[in-house]
């Protein structure tokens, strides 16, 4: 692991997710840019002192020198946005598979360069867009792909949070400090932090790609340097249209992510507050309530569910599904066999490039006097 040391929220989430199915063992890390913090974090995690490194360069070069049977196989990178590109690049260039937190890089230019490096490396790459790991999000995607809803016409996604309703970055809140800092977060605040999740979820479930957008981007809290609120009108390849809302100043909201997709024959609705449920709506019959863990769901939902119906699985399990599928794909590679399609269903570097393109395009549109802006990658 690179990053994720003492006091880091997302590092612990990644470690729990990786450990859930017993397919990974944490054996080495550079947990902080401060060598002393890295060493202390490694000690707390029970790692051998010689495999706790003072920098990501030391980790990658040190592990590369170890016998192949002993060195790490996968590097999980959980640093802030501006520290994603360099360790991911060096890892891929040295033959290590990469799991990277989102958004993929600091800029679209870095994302495109990393994509080229990954393609040349023959290594696998996973981007942790967590919400695509939920079983009933998998069910929604498979339902749309089956054609049962008909041609998709309309899609809505909203992601309201309230944790930045006041000027949190002015105090001791480290998460607020770096996520609202242009030098560390990039050109976008809320649209980069949670808007990319909403965008990825929309394209993942519908199977469509955004071709045009029109954005209204706001900075609501006085003194804040980046956007904390916005809404985007979307046009998709194939003729569908949609709306994306992402805000971090919706006071009282937690992580109320919600998706609705409508085709010519029916629609669906999913929200994170009841993640085990998918509503399927029809023109000519009552709404269906599909539940995770039941025998009637599709193969992708079954593959990504661990418990029987009525036993809730949540955020950590969705996160773990990405780690598990990545591990299964690597095991198939090592065995020289083909992994089942369900195991290959995790966000890749292509989704990372589109996420960075979304950030660039949505901020450009928000600053533009033009109503519609072409979506370019």
Burial group, residue 159, by CB count within 10 angstroms (0-12, 13-18, 19+): buried
CA 277 to chain centre: 21
Predicted pLDDT at 373: 80
In sign, the C-alpha dihedral spanning 293, 298, 299, 301 is negative
pLDDT per residue of the chain (377 residues) written in tens, 0 to 9: 999 998 888 999 999 999 999 999 999 999 999 999 999 999 999 999 999 999 999 999 999 999 999 999 999 999 999 999 999 999 999 999 999 999 999 999 999 999 999 999 999 999 999 999 999 999 999 999 999 999 999 999 999 999 999 999 988 898 999 999 999 999 999 999 999 999 999 999 999 999 999 999 999 999 999 999 999 999 999 899 999 999 999 999 999 999 999 999 999 999 999 999 999 999 999 999 999 999 999 999 999 999 999 999 999 999 999 999 999 999 999 999 999 999 999 999 999 999 999 999 999 999 998 878 889 99
Query: How many angstroms separate the CA atoms of 302 and 294, rounded?
Result: 8
Predicted pLDDT at 27: 98
Q: Are 240 and 154 a contacting pair, CB within 8 Å? A: yes
Classified by CATH at the fold level, domain 132-311+348-367 comes out as Dihydrodipicolinate Reductase; domain 2 (3.30.360)
Predicted pLDDT at 325: 98
Going from N- to C-terminal start, the domains of the chain cover 9-123, 132-311+348-367
Nearest to 293 by CA among 135, 93, 183: 135
Q: Which CATH number fits domain 9-123: 3.90.1720.10, 1.10.240.10, 3.40.50.300, 3.40.50.720?
A: 3.40.50.720
pTM of the predicted model, to two decimals? Answer: 0.95
Nearest to 116 by CA among 85, 72, 79, 80: 85
Query: How many angstroms separate the CA atoms of 47 and 279, rounded?
Result: 45
Predicted pLDDT at 370: 81
Predicted pLDDT at 166: 97
Predicted pLDDT at 87: 98
Nearest to 199 by CA among 162, 149, 233: 233
């Amino acid at each position: 692991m690179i990053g994720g040391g003492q006091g880091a929220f997302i590092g612990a989430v990644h470690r729990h997710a990786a450990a859930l199915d017993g397919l990974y063992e944490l054996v080495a890390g550079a947990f902080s840019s401060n060598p002393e913090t890295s060493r202390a974090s490694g000690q707390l995690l029970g790692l051998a002192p010689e495999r706790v490194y003072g920098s990501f360069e030391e980790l990658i070069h040190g592990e590369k020198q170890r016998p192949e049977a002993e060195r790490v196989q996968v590097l999980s990178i959980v640093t802030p946005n501006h520290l994603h590109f360099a360790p991911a690049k060096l890892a891929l260039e040295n033959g290590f598979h990469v799991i990277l937190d989102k958004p993929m890089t600091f800029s679209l230019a870095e994302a495109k360069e990393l994509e080229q490096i990954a393609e040349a490396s023959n290594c696998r790459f996973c981007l942790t867009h967590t919400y695509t790991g939920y079983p009933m999000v998998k069910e929604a995607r498979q339902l749309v792909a089956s054609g049962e809803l008909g041609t998709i016409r309309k899609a809505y996604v909203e992601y309201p949070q309230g944790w930045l309703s006041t000027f949190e970055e002015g105090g001791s809140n480290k998460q607020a400090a770096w996520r609202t800092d242009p030098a560390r977060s990039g050109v976008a605040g809320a649209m980069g932090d949670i808007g990319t999740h909403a965008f990825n979820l929309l394209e993942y479930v519908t199977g469509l790609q955004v071709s045009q957008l029109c954005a209204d981007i706001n900075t609501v809290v006085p003194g804040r340097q980046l956007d904390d609120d916005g809404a985007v009108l979307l046009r998709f390849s194939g003729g569908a249209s949609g709306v994306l809302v992402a805000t971090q100043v919706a006071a009282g909201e937690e992580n109320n992510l919600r998706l609705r997709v409508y085709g010519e024959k029916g629609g669906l609705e999913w929200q994170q507050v009841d993640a085990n449920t998918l509503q399927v709506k029809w023109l000519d019959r009552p709404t269906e309530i599909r539940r995770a863990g039941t025998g009637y769901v599709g193969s992708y939902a079954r593959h990504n569910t661990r418990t029987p119906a009525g036993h809730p699985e949540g955020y950590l399990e969705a996160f773990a599904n990405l780690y598990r599928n990545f591990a299964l794909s690597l095991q198939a590679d090592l065995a020289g066999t083909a992994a089942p399609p369900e195991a290959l269903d995790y966000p890749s570097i292509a989704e990372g490039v589109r996420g960075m393109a979304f950030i660039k395009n949505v901020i450009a549109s928000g600053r533009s006097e033009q109503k519609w802006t072409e979506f370019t990658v």
